[in-house]
Amino acid sequence: AEVVETSFHVKNLTTSRLCQNHVITAVNGSLPGPTLRVKEGDTLVVHVFNESPYNLTIHWHGVFQMRTQWADGPEFITQCPIRPGNSYTYRFNLTGQVGTLWWHAHTQWLRATVYGALIIRPRDGQKYPFVKPYREETIILGEWWNANVIDVENTALATGVSPNNSDAYTINGWPGDLYPSCPSNKTYTLQVVPGQTYLLRIINAALNGHLFFKIANHNFTVVGADAAYTNPYRTDVVVIAPGQTVDALLTANQSPGLYYMAARPYASAVGLQINNSTTTAILAYQNATQTTPVLPILPALNDTPTAFTFESNMTALVTSPFWRPVPQPVDENMFITMGLGISECGNNQTCGGIFGQRMAASMNNHSFAFPTTISLLEAHFRNVSGVYTTDFPNQPPLQFDYTNTNNSFNQTLMTTPKLTSVKPLKFNATVQVVFQNTALVGVENHPMHLHGVNFYILAQGFGNYDPVNDPRKFNLVNPQERNTLGVPVGGWAVIRFRANNPGVWFIHCHLDVHLPWGLATAFVVENGGTPETTLPPPPADFPRC
Ligand code: C2O
């Protein structure tokens, strides 16, 4: 195994999208930022220089961070931000997973333009469990605002309303041919040789867009997700929530021509305030004769059956060298409701959200408030009191029928306190979480992401989770392993994981509209009692608040 070392210079970049010049925050002058390539078992060292005007952290989405908890990156969870003019070196090992992950800023909405791919290939002497691809290509789906994203977020937070919609989706940084055309537009083009098979590494880096992705006239064979191998799954559409990755084989087996690849949102309910535009790129066969690309027909905005089929049909490849059986028995059972609601505007003022309050989001009716002077991990390590409480409940404090729409728009039920409340877990505990997506206000999938560990998705369904009958549907044999899961709209999902890494692991909705509203908490995994299972001290250059 090798040490792969690189530097990120994060600073303003003037770039043109949608026919206008914009100043964005970018890494090493490019959007998307640099692709990091390692082999399984390597150590990655990234020196991050914050030359931007904003506070910054970088998160390595999906990396286990075994014994490198201080490198995980979420702001005020595992570290204080790197202040403008300062630097921090992230150093961590990539063992036990092969496939596609990614990195992104984990401060405010900065990840809109601060993101890139992290590709882990098999170590020397190991092979893919599928046909060797002719080439590998990264397809990063993104979301673009013409306005400064930090301003968009700050304005929404100050007024308590929903932030403005984005102006475009992007493929490898470019909106594509269906947006206004102008000379500065580029459309990403993937050149293919007829008859060859390509491994597409598809990443959803969009802030809020859960996306459908298709290539006209072509099928995919999904072979991995979130850097875990899956059984081959054939499909003509990929459904991908913010935070997720999908590895899919694509064979160039159609008549040599030009074909659009395209993505647009899945929003589970018509009427949600979202940008419903379509981004495109081109699949171009070598020596193509025709000149007008064919456009694929994407599923409708609210095509929940297609989204659910994709997300629930995948299974894990148990012959993978990285597969571990589902842990049993369960030590800690949690039932977590996720919902949108309101928090008080304060000082008898009126805010722009429902009932004149502030829009909020919660888990078990606890809306997460970020600490501001120290990270949770440092407070935990140094036993600093008063930063967080350890009373995050295993059940929602309010018991009522969340799917009964008569409960909607009840101010008392919708009001949620802002708390920094976390859930302690014993080292190596087997934890099972039932997520129940409540339907009080918005009806949409919440892509729930857990830092530091992959979880198994045992089952998912619609309506209220039934604790008597639904456990019979659990897949304990080959459930897919993920770090991010789209909990179905008006439905539930059950995950299980082993808390095998001491530290503080953030769990949150990967829609950036919901994260600052508080749809988050953290698991504090206690030390295991041996030197190897004890949280080490922070590195010397650890950012101070
Ligand atoms: Cu990809 Cu906490 O994030």
Whole-number pLDDT of residue 196? 98
Q: Hey, which CATH number is domain 1-126, 3.40.50.280, 2.60.120.200, 2.60.40.420, 3.30.70.20?
A: 2.60.40.420
CA 276 – ligand 1 centroid, Å: 24
| pLDDT of 402 strictly over 60 | no
Q: Which residue has the CA at smallest separation from atom 1 of ligand 1? A: 61
For residues 60 and 92, the answer to whether their CB atoms sit within 8 Å is yes
The complex scores an ipTM of 0.99
Fold equal for 1-126 and 332-533: yes
* Nearest atom within ligand 1 for CA of residue 242: 1
| pLDDT of 140 strictly over 90 | yes
Pick from 393, 394, 391, 387: nearest CA to 369: 387
- The residues with which 142 forms a beta bridge, in sequence order, are 170
Whole-number pLDDT of residue 289? 83
Whole-number pLDDT of residue 396? 87
Residue 515: left if φ>0, alpha if ψ -120 to 50, beta else—which one?
alpha
| Domain 332-533, CATH | 2.60.40.420
CA 173 – ligand 1 centroid, Å: 20
Mean pLDDT of the region 33-43:
98
More confident residue, 365 or 387: 387
CA 59 – ligand 1 centroid, Å: 7
Domain spans of the chain, in order of start: 1-126, 128-315, 332-533
Which of 163-167, 221-225, 410-414, 445-449 has the highest average model confidence (pLDDT)? Answer: 221-225
Cα(343)–Cα(454) distance, rounded to whole angstroms? Answer: 32
CA 125 – ligand 1 centroid, Å: 32
CA 206 – ligand 1 centroid, Å: 12
Q: Residue 311: in which H helix or E strand, if any?
A: helix 304-313
Encode 486-520 in three state secondary structure. EECCCEEEEEEEECCCCEEEEEEECCCCCCCCCCE
Whole-number pLDDT of residue 325? 97
Whole-number pLDDT of residue 157? 87
CA 243 – ligand 1 centroid, Å: 7
Joined tokens for residue 85:
């003019």
% of the chain beyond a pLDDT of 90: 82
Whole-number pLDDT of residue 504? 98
pTM greater than the 0.90 cutoff: yes
Do β-strands 446-450 and 455-462 pair in parallel, antiparallel, or remain unpaired? unpaired
Q: Which residues line ligand 1 (CB under 6 A)?
A: 59, 61, 74, 104, 106, 243, 449, 451, 506, 508, 510
| pLDDT of 486 strictly over 80 | yes
More confident residue, 439 or 52: 52
Whole-number pLDDT of residue 397? 80
Q: What is the pLDDT of residues 299-351, one digit of tens each?
A: 999 899 999 999 999 999 999 999 999 999 999 999 999 888 888 887 778 88
| pLDDT of 290 strictly over 80 | no
Whole-number pLDDT of residue 441? 53
Q: CB within 8 A of 91, min separation 6: which ones?
A: 43, 44, 45, 46, 68, 71, 539
Whole-number pLDDT of residue 403? 56
Q: Which residue has the CA at smallest separation from atom 3 of ligand 1? A: 61
Q: Would you say domain 128-315 falls under CATH 3.40.50.150?
A: no
For residues 486 and 338, the answer to whether their CB atoms sit within 8 Å is no
